[in-house]
Structure 1
Amino acid sequence: MSKLGRSVVYFLIFSVMLSTFGLGAAASQSGQASPATLASLYGDIDLSSSAPTTVIVELEEESIVEAKHKGKKQSKERLAKVRGQVIKELTTKVPDAKVNREYDFLFSGFSVELPAKNIPALLSARGVKAVYPNVEYTVDVVETGVALAEEVSPEMKDSAPYIGSNRVWEELGVTGKGVTVAIIDTGVDYTHPDLAHAFGEYKGWDFVDNDDDPQETPPGDPRGGATNHGTHVAGTVAANGQIKGVAPDAKLLAYRVLGPGGSGTTENVLAGIERAVQDGADIMNLSLGNTLNNPDWATSIALDWAMAEGVVAVTSNGNGGPNNWTVGSPGTSRQAISVGATRLPYNAYAAELFTSSGVSYPSAKVMGFSDEEALLALDGQTYEFVDVGLGLAQDFEGKNVQGKIALIQRGEIPFVDKAQNAKHAGAVGAIIYNHVPGEIPFEIPGMAVPTIKLSLEDGQKMLNELEKGNHTVQFSIEFVKTVGETVADFSSRGPVMDTWMIKPDVSAPGVNILSTIPTHNPEDPHGYAALQGTSMASPHVAGAAALLLEKHPDWTVEQVKAALMNTAEELFAPDGTRYPHNTQGAGSIRVWDAIQTEVLLLPGSHSFGVVYKENETEVKRTQVQILNLTDKRTRYEVEAAFDGNPEGLKVRASRNLNVRPNGSQTLQVTVEADPAKLQAGYYEGTITLKGSGQELVVPTILFVQEPDYPRITHFYFDGDREEGYSLIVYLPGGAEELTFLVYEWTGSAVGDYIGTIGTYTEVPKEFSEYHWDGTIGGQPLESGQYAIFALATKAGQTTQLGLLAELK
């Protein structure tokens, strides 16, 4: 199925073909179950297709770890027997079904490939609890430059010292020794001189090639591109050479679950999580993800049970920001530590452009750069600029931009790729202008060449200058100020749908992080590069957890998580406002403070969920555990409040507490919400504890009326005129009304409105699919590109999402 867009879109269709919860007809034909007793089906699966499709099957029979924590007996033998019975029943119904992997330790079930149209047979099979898609997980990072070995020193890696790692090494002698961290990723170059010390004879496991050599994908693999992601992640955790990681003496295990090109699927990720726990890892890092905000996908379930088994699971929050609700699985896990990305303090610059008298560019701003010297080199200089369209690689063909400035329109590919293409073509800088009215709202650190951004209107002025024969632009670059640590625009935001949990849990440096990469050249093994993404932030937290576990080997996973959250540094945007909880989590980690803390508050954050307007005054309660880690009785002061103390929200908590030495006490927090006095929306609060010379903060949130999550988060289009077109939408909470609209597409913008495909009511949760015959008002549309938008409405809120559709 083609996935043509995840940007704004509008679409139309005539009849509801199926939804993920509308499978009664197909299921009842099996004669074994009524629709009411079918297993749950999650995800984007076209059940009308005969194409081979892999899914993850979860069994009702509990896994070994789940049963253990519920006080039940379970064995591999019993699980194998039950699993075998389900597989036998399935293969009897679907002879060409092929089981790929089987799971029993953290997750009970198996992965199976079968024609998609036969998946309903799974839903009625005895013993099946749920069926999940075998979703694709990818690495999503930006390479901002490969560094030469002779240019690298430990001091160049600013992020580890910034969070306090150096102080922990030097003053406490704690370096992660004796702690094992599993890197579940693209593999790791365990021969890298900075990483070889961290690996023993057993390196881990390769689930892509099914052998014991979890090396990165080298160049020339016919299945896809070479990888370096896992090695970069591993270096941030435990490099000890020319680069020093956060925990330089920690041990590493590598699990290659993402193959050529840096992509993989649920079945391998699940297998990697299970094996890492069974191999004795103390911590696991998963710098990978997908875009679906759902807490109950198979990977998240496995991570929750890994945490229950005592393994600290750390995962990236995703690179889908800056909007709320963009966190994706496995960052949505209830228990794992999800990590957002920050940018270390940096110098901000203002930019002005001059092309000819009487022409001004008021929207000109610095978008990004990887080298301040390269940016400042533009100051006062005049360059020829060249229009290269969208900045695609082919747009540079036949155009000379060597030593010049590339003028590029926003659209189709990421900003960073446009800048990288400009650099490859020899440009010394780039100017990117918007493709819709207004300014581009993003700063993108680490652009391959110094890049200035313009509004659409100012971009058109530069194009007009070219038409007049003026091909030169002069730059004025001026230092403005030093900006403190900020949350990266790309960092995904929470909360998590259904659980309404705050995510990320914490943040850590994730912009322009210098670490190890493979060279695939034994004669020159020292490889280094700067990458950015929440993938780079997550291993900072995994490394910090290793330092905490060396210092406090008796700490539980909950205590490690709480220490990092309780002592995190609260972050503020450049305008001085505090970042919301679902942007920064508890804040940016400070490992020195975490390792030295004398008190803990568990859990590290809390959501009070939803209060509905139609209800009378509603009372919400939670408990926070206070752990006194000192050998003396300590008195603590407690305050709990919502920001601004809104009328209609009354918070009560014990004000003063005495906790015995090395003891604990439960703090009761009660919120009384009167919906009649509250506006619908999202409320942030804090539970603050003072004592032992510290002040700890637990972020809290509460929603009044239906939460403001996007009614529609994914929209796909597929098909042709002969077979008809499919419109697939993902509605996390369903919709009261769903409408598809069609507009002309001018080639660069949305044109005139053409018509409505259809309007549907009471649309169910999750995925729904609709068929459209390509006509509006009974008249077929001509072949070509159209802009189609889906509008989903619930509780008075409408979300729109659009894509470009090719009718052929």
Structure 2
Amino acid sequence: MTGALLSPVGASAAGGEQIAPGSPAPESKIQGNLLTDVTMAPGAYFVQFAGEPTSRGGSLTAIKAERAQFQNDLQDAGVDVEVRHEFGALWNGVAVNVSESQLLKVAGSEVVEAVFPIGVIDAPEEPEAQTIDPELFTAITMTGSDVVQSELGFDGTGIRVGVIDTGIDIDHPDLGGSGTPGTTAFPSARVTKGYDFVGDDYNANPSTDAYSPTPVPDANPDDCQGHGTHVAGIVGADGVVTGVAPGVTFGAYRVFGCEGSTDADVMLRAMERSLHDRMDVVNMSIGSAFSAWEEYPTAQASDALAREGVVVVASIGNSGADGLYSAGAPGVGGDTIGVGSVDNIEFMANFFTDETGATVPYTIGTPAPEPPTEGTAELVAVAPPTDELSKGCAPYSEADAATIAGQWVLVQRGDCTFHQKAVNAQAAGAIGVVLYNNVAGMVNPSLSGTPEITIPLVAVSAADGQRLVTDALADGSTTITWSAEETSIPSPTGGLISSFSSFGTTADLQYKPDVSAPGGQIYSTYPLEIQAHATLSGTSMASPHVAGAAALMLQADPGLSVHDVKVRLQNSAEQLPLNLAPAAGLEVVHRQGAGMIKVDKSILADVVIEPSFLQLGQQVAGSST
């Protein structure tokens, strides 16, 4: 939006149209500053009306009257508006297409409370190309979900969980399907409700070549992207992998095409449909970073859904590297449970062995060729880790290229993109790259970009990489032996807040997230047409852990309110050490919330402490009472 739309309140609207005395100036109604660093849908806006939605006591008659008056006001003002969708259950207003030059006249209608740009929500990323042991790994043990299933006897049976995402693969046998693509009828045994709001080709991102913003709805919410199936598996898979609550049934609300982005108004439609379908819990592993205002329509709608008795759980975002206030809607809603991510304590990894026979686990950079699964390779290095040349961010000199040509080269993480490091190594004649970390933990390198990467890249830990560099510099090279096997290894950052997990607070300085759950290196279901199971990381994977936990709690005690679920999860959460320096103290509250959930303790607790968190605001020096 342009600066003119955010100018101070003036005395008249565009074109000299006078504003009635006592009326809010149209400029003050335009909320362009609620979204920061978010792509906007071209010419698309939420228009919020003054009346309450039906979930807050508003009448359908009054809502329809406001819509009619809005149309009449625009007709009188000569404004051409296309209504994309009307809302009234969780939020009262309309989504419209209108030129930016007409916004002041739109805001001039007496029934208009506020105007918001419709944000474009990026599709979740594809998984890295790796396989893992067939279970939800150690993640469900971190939250006590395994104890609830095996010792307390609860699995979520009878609880309906809505998944607003890319759909669910209804054929997946772990999710109640036949196991053969295209043969399971919808609704199925496990996916009993749902709707595809957009169709396969939908893509709301105007900056892509595949831009296709016109929805083509379908009754069957089958997943062709993957993310929603992965999320559903974490909530409640029951087969090769076991989710948090394997007895739940699902509502699948598809808001993404096979690739690309969606619009915020599509998200709002899905929320209203989940209310209509009587979901007990709704998971939204979706959001826009920095849209951290509770006033934004999707945050308002998620709170309204919670007030209707639905436990609403949403990922807080994956923009931790961008610092404070990077949390996003709808996870910032006051009654919504916003979830941060914790790294899994173990994961499976491919490995090679070094000259001593020691196992060196690695992850695989994509898109790029796969590394070998047998044979040997020579690793070379051009500089020790303390030298900037070790990072490979600049084209290699002729002398260094002579060392690298025909060999695998060791490159340190830092200062430039993984793609740039691979490009430089490729140009120097390397046949592969071993990238070693510069901090604790493992990374899944993304090599997307131009030119295409035509050599494999694998990533190892900082300790393994530095040892290999020392050996290579001492002897000119060091030999490794590839293996087709995998190994289970402890994660160096296991049990800590994931580096990508977004910080709060919200834009109006309220604490978020509310709690955290495992989201780093999580193995779950994936569409059969792509691969049956996959590993993903993100707060998208943490949120369904909490949604599944809520299902277990509601089965254990059907009388729990939305507020009760949130309070009990926060009361029993485990506080986590600081990500950057675990020995230094606790992680900040606006990154971990109350801490990592412990659902067994939430169910067994016979004492509840309220309020479950305190918002003290700005404090003077010293203690507060």
TM bucket by the smaller chain? 0.7 to 0.9
Counterpart Cα distance in 1 of 2:595 and 2:517: 8
- Give yes or no for contact 1:294–1:329 (8 Å, CA) kept in 2: yes
| Partner of residue 46 from structure 2, selected from 31, 50, 56 | 56
Residues 200, 506 of structure 1: CA spacing in aligned structure 2 closer, same or farther, 3 A cutoff? closer
User: What's the counterpart of residue 500 of structure 2?
Assistant: 490
Q: CA deviation at 1:18?
A: 2.4
Amino acid at match of 2:435: I
User: What's the counterpart of residue 163 of structure 1?
Assistant: 143
Amino acid at match of 2:128: T
User: What's the counterpart of residue 566 of structure 2?
Assistant: 561
**Mapping of 1:364-763 within 5 angstroms?**
369=363, 382-384=378-380, 404-405=408-409, 407=411, 410=414, 413=417, 415=418, 429-431=433-435, 443-447=441-445, 449-451=458-460, 472=477, 485-498=495-508, 500-520=509-529, 527-573=532-578, 574-576=581-583, 577-611=585-619, 648-651=622-625
CA deviation vs aligned residue, 1:158-183 (integer Å, no higher than 9, x gap): 21132111211122221000000000
Gaps of 5+ in 1: 2-15, 68-73, 218-226, 348-353, 355-365, 393-398, 434-439, 614-646, 652-808
Q: CA deviation at 1:290?
A: 0.8
Counterpart Cα distance in 1 of 2:558 and 2:430: 53
Amino acid at match of 2:558: P
User: What's the counterpart of residue 437 of structure 1?
Assistant: none
TM-score by length of 1: 0.59
Residues 649, 177 of structure 1: CA spacing in aligned structure 2 closer, same or farther, 3 A cutoff? same
User: What's the counterpart of residue 160 of structure 2?
Assistant: 180
User: What's the counterpart of residue 247 of structure 1?
Assistant: 245
Answer with 1 or 2: which has the greater Rg: 1
Q: CA deviation at 1:442?
A: 7.3
Amino acid at match of 2:504: G
Gaps of 5+ in 2: 178-187, 199-215, 348-353, 355-359, 383-389, 396-402, 446-456, 481-488
Residues 403, 59 of structure 1: CA spacing in aligned structure 2 closer, same or farther, 3 A cutoff? farther
Q: CA deviation at 1:260?
A: 3.7
Is residue 42 from structure 1 mapped to residue 31 from structure 2 by the alignment?
yes
Counterpart Cα distance in 2 of 1:130 and 1:401: 61
Counterpart Cα distance in 2 of 1:261 and 1:427: 32
Residues 388, 590 of structure 1: CA spacing in aligned structure 2 closer, same or farther, 3 A cutoff? closer
Counterpart Cα distance in 1 of 2:406 and 2:195: 46
User: What's the counterpart of residue 334 of structure 1?
Assistant: 334
User: What's the counterpart of residue 56 of structure 2?
Assistant: 66
Residues 421, 260 of structure 1: CA spacing in aligned structure 2 closer, same or farther, 3 A cutoff? farther
Counterpart Cα distance in 1 of 2:596 and 2:66: 46
Residues 317, 515 of structure 1: CA spacing in aligned structure 2 closer, same or farther, 3 A cutoff? same
Residue 495 of structure 1 aligns to a residue in which SS? coil
User: What's the counterpart of residue 233 of structure 2?
Assistant: 235
User: What's the counterpart of residue 209 of structure 2?
Assistant: none
Q: CA deviation at 1:431?
A: 3.0
Is residue 128 from structure 1 mapped to residue 112 from structure 2 by the alignment?
yes
| Partner of residue 143 from structure 1, selected from 112, 123, 127 | 127
User: What's the counterpart of residue 31 of structure 1?
Assistant: 18
User: What's the counterpart of residue 773 of structure 1?
Assistant: none
Residue 598 of structure 1 aligns to a residue in which SS? coil
CA deviation vs aligned residue, 1:695-738 (integer Å, no higher than 9, x gap): xxxxxxxxxxxxxxxxxxxxxxxxxxxxxxxxxxxxxxxxxxxx
Amino acid at match of 1:328: G
User: What's the counterpart of residue 182 of structure 2?
Assistant: none
Residue 84 of structure 1 aligns to a residue in which SS? helix
User: What's the counterpart of residue 256 of structure 2?
Assistant: 258
User: What's the counterpart of residue 101 of structure 1?
Assistant: 85
User: What's the counterpart of residue 219 of structure 2?
Assistant: 212
Counterpart Cα distance in 2 of 1:401 and 1:65: 67
Residues 200, 483 of structure 1: CA spacing in aligned structure 2 closer, same or farther, 3 A cutoff? closer
Greater helix fraction, Structure 1 or Structure 2: 2
Counterpart Cα distance in 1 of 2:30 and 2:424: 42
**Mean Cα deviation higher: 27-36 or 332-341:** 27-36
CA deviation vs aligned residue, 1:568-599 (integer Å, no higher than 9, x gap): 11111353221111121111011111111112
Residues 564, 42 of structure 1: CA spacing in aligned structure 2 closer, same or farther, 3 A cutoff? same
User: What's the counterpart of residue 275 of structure 1?
Assistant: 273
TM-score by length of 2: 0.75
Residues 164, 409 of structure 1: CA spacing in aligned structure 2 closer, same or farther, 3 A cutoff? closer
- Give yes or no for contact 1:346–1:483 (8 Å, CA) kept in 2: no
- Give yes or no for contact 1:442–1:489 (8 Å, CA) kept in 2: no
- Give yes or no for contact 1:385–1:473 (8 Å, CA) kept in 2: no
Counterpart Cα distance in 2 of 1:496 and 1:275: 27
CA RMSD of aligned residues (A): 4.2
| Partner of residue 87 from structure 1, selected from 65, 71, 79 | 71
Counterpart Cα distance in 2 of 1:417 and 1:571: 35
- Give yes or no for contact 1:91–1:97 (8 Å, CA) kept in 2: no
Greater strand fraction, Structure 1 or Structure 2: 1
The count of aligned residue pairs is 529
Residues 114, 94 of structure 1: CA spacing in aligned structure 2 closer, same or farther, 3 A cutoff? farther
User: What's the counterpart of residue 639 of structure 1?
Assistant: none
User: What's the counterpart of residue 324 of structure 1?
Assistant: 324
Q: CA deviation at 1:102?
A: 0.5
